[in-house]
Amino acid sequence: MPESKRVAIFGATSTIAQSIARRYAAQGARLALIARDSTKLEALAEGLGPAVRFVRAQDFTHSEQADDCVRAAFDALGGCDVALIAHGLLGDQLRSERELSVALEIAQVNYTSVVALLIPIANRMAAQQRGQIAVLSTVAAERGRPRNYTYAAAKAALNTYLQGLRSRLYRDNVSVHTLKLGPTDTPMSAEHPKNALFATPDQVARGVLSALAHGTEEAFVPRYWRPIMFVVRNLPEAIFQRLPALSGR
């Protein structure tokens, strides 16, 4: 009988991460759950039962604690097969254009705090010569748009970092997966008008696990975002700026 998969989820209380955790638990995986909100974290762990082997409340902006956080999670699981980073912050775009502190917070949560986790995760997986690193990113990073370009820029920087990390870890038998999520009906998008392109958290969770199972290095989730973003990414500026749906607020 194959050993159960060891999965560490950072940002485990996001709506999408919770759906992913439930799917892994149903598959018999052993889970380490790390997130900022201790109340939500305890409720999630209680609901998942014996699948959970490690729980830690952690504010990821305290980057100096990242190495210890990763070490504790890996040690509790006896190693790690899948490390998923799922935290993020959309932030207030308009405020980020006026207040540097807001722009820096968005950059810290979406880029530097993720890199702080990726460094110890990558080093530990390279040492064990196996594993998958998965990071939830966004289709917004494909092109800067006025409505969310501070957030998009931080995610675009993260995507570039992941490309380099992927090639670095290739010979160590460690795969790196960038999951580019389209708009999803979660609390983070609660104030955004919904349309037919919005996915559900469970739909996204299925897509993420499918991408990992198939070894897809850069996956659009759901898949229909790949052709859409190909067009958006390659539109000439002169056309792009004349389309309110793309260049409007």
pLDDT tens per residue, range 163-218: 999 999 999 999 999 999 999 987 766 566 667 788 999 999 999 999 999 999 99
Q: What pTM, to 2 d.p., does this model score?
A: 0.93
Question: Tell me, what's the pLDDT at 131?
Answer: 98
Q: Could you tell me the two tokens for 194?
A: 């919904």
Question: Tell me, what's the pLDDT at 191?
Answer: 66
Mean pLDDT by 10-residue block, N- to C-terminus, for the chain (249 residues)? 85 97 97 97 97 98 98 98 97 97 98 98 98 98 96 98 98 98 80 77 96 97 96 95 89
The CATH code that applies to domain 6-247 is 3.40.50.720
Question: Tell me, what's the pLDDT at 1?
Answer: 42
User: 80: how many CB neighbours lie within 10 A of its CB?
Assistant: 25
The half-sphere exposure of 137 on its side-chain side, counting CA atoms within 13 A, is: 31
pLDDT by residue (tens digit) across 17-32? 999 999 999 999 999 9
Question: Tell me, what's the pLDDT at 189?
Answer: 63
The closest alpha carbon to 156, from 183, 243, 148, 11, belongs to: 148
Report the alpha-carbon distance of residue 152 to residue 147 in Å, rounded: 10
Instruction: Confirm if 85 and 176 have CB atoms less than 8 A apart.
Output: no
Instruction: Give kind and range of the element (H or E) at residue 223.
Output: none
Residue 145 to residues 25, 93, 244, Cα–Cα distance (Å): 38, 11, 10
The closest alpha carbon to 112, from 159, 63, 156, belongs to: 63
Length of the chain: 249
Instruction: Confirm if 31 and 37 have CB atoms less than 8 A apart.
Output: no
Question: Tell me, what's the pLDDT at 195?
Answer: 73
Instruction: Confirm if 139 and 93 have CB atoms less than 8 A apart.
Output: no
Instruction: Confirm if 85 and 117 have CB atoms less than 8 A apart.
Output: yes
